[in-house]
Amino acid sequence: MRYVSTRDAALSATLSEALKRGIAPDGGLYVPERFPHLGVALFEGATRLPEVATRFLAPFFEGDGLDAEMPAIVREAFDFPVPLVPLPTPEDASVLELFHGPTAAFKDFGARFLAACLGRLHRGAGRTLTILVATSGDTGGAVAAAFHGRPGIEVVVLYPRGLVSPRQELQLTCWGGNVKSLSVAGTFDDCQRLVKAAFADPALAARRELSSANSINVGRLLPQACYYVKSSLATFRRTGRPANYIVPSGNLGNVLACVWARRIGLPVGEIVLAFNANRTVPDYLATGDWQPRASVATLASAMDVGNPSNMERLRHLFPEWDDLRGALSAVSVSDEQIRARIRTDHARLGQTWCPHTATAAEVYAGLGERRRAAGPWVLVSTAHPAKFPETVEPLIGAPLPVPPALERLLSLPKHVTEIPATLEALAGAVLA
């Protein structure tokens, strides 16, 4: 299997090359040159995530230097549960809980997988590998945790100052050592722009070997597809019907992984994207007019993206707007709807949502009885509510228990450097 640029299929790379580069030489994003068909029968007897992932990932690692190590990579990365929890509703609905990893967010899947891959690829190398990662909340903490202490690798995390939750910021800045945390005077889109500019800067590339751990790196998307494979199989085995998903969406990496799982033949039905007040994608699907814009700050801060990078991959997969609109639907949810949904479902269902998961729950509630009854539906829960106590606790009127792994991180000292949103400032911080 080779990986090609979304902008020029003649620019191809092995999986290892794509993982290390992060982005293609022409600025495009790497995608598999083809999608193999993997039917349900291939996964017979596989129920645990490492077993499912090993079978799913085999064709994507085929012929690569990491092929023989892939099962060990999977076992190392996926060492925490990913439960599919039924909801107490009249319709068939479940919650896919993706927050049981070390930083209590779904980004742990991709970050730990990528770290396991790059750690092996860089083993014995004489030059330090610098991982650049822009984050709107959860990605940076997961990447920092996954790479912290790995020899020969440093991580530079960029996050928008004042636009992440206090607990998210603590997770982004508690590391030190081989992790540099940069508080950027700007938005997430500014952080993402700086990372892309750094890759395009020949002077910086000459002095540092750069890679990315954002969802622009294909090494983030392949492992995220694994939990869609597992949960869709479990749902199909239970009901005999494909699973329909509602996915909280920002930079579109998570939903793209779901689309890939469906593309290879897994039992995935409807895919509905739940957005906050950042309406770039819902408006595009409604009008056909692609208009990236400045991001808007919301309660669901990790989804505050006005120009999502992975739209390039989606448009590569579905070049015609009508085809894309037929493959996906999208709904935007306001902050007030997020608050109301957290209150309502805590009282009615006994469920406590983070603001991001609440967008999916609100979209589900708005489907209408007939569409909900046409399930099964899976709501994707992307973060533990304890990461957002200042939002959630006043709404439910109770304190939130903090997972032990998260509690340990919150007790560590803070290490952070403030920079303006300029390439010069980023380069200075990277080279310091």
Which pLDDT band, with edges at 50, 70 and 90, does 405 fall under? confident
Per-residue pLDDT tens digits for 253-276: 999 999 999 999 999 999 999 999
Tokens of 340: 């109301």
Question: What is the per-residue DSSP string for 103-163?
Answer: TSBTHHHHHHHHHHHHHHHTTT-SS-EEEEEE-SSSHHHHHHHHHTT-TTEEEEEEEETTS
pLDDT at 288 over 90: yes
CB hemisphere CA count around 340 (13 angstroms) = 9
Q: What's the confidence (pLDDT) of residue 45? A: 95
List residues with catalytic annotation: 107
Which pLDDT band, with edges at 50, 70 and 90, does 384 fall under? very high
Cα radius of gyration rounded to whole Å, the chain: 20
What is the average pLDDT across 24-51?
A: 95
Which pLDDT band, with edges at 50, 70 and 90, does 386 fall under? very high
pLDDT at 157 over 90: yes
pLDDT at 135 over 90: no
Q: Which domains does the chain have, with CATH numbers?
A: 68-105+219-405 (3.40.50.1100)
Per-residue pLDDT tens digits for 290-342: 999 988 999 998 899 999 999 999 999 999 999 999 999 999 999 999 999 99
Q: What's the confidence (pLDDT) of residue 76? A: 96
What is the average pLDDT across 267-286?
A: 98
Matching residue, tokens 């129920």? 47
pLDDT at 225 over 90: yes
pLDDT at 428 over 90: yes
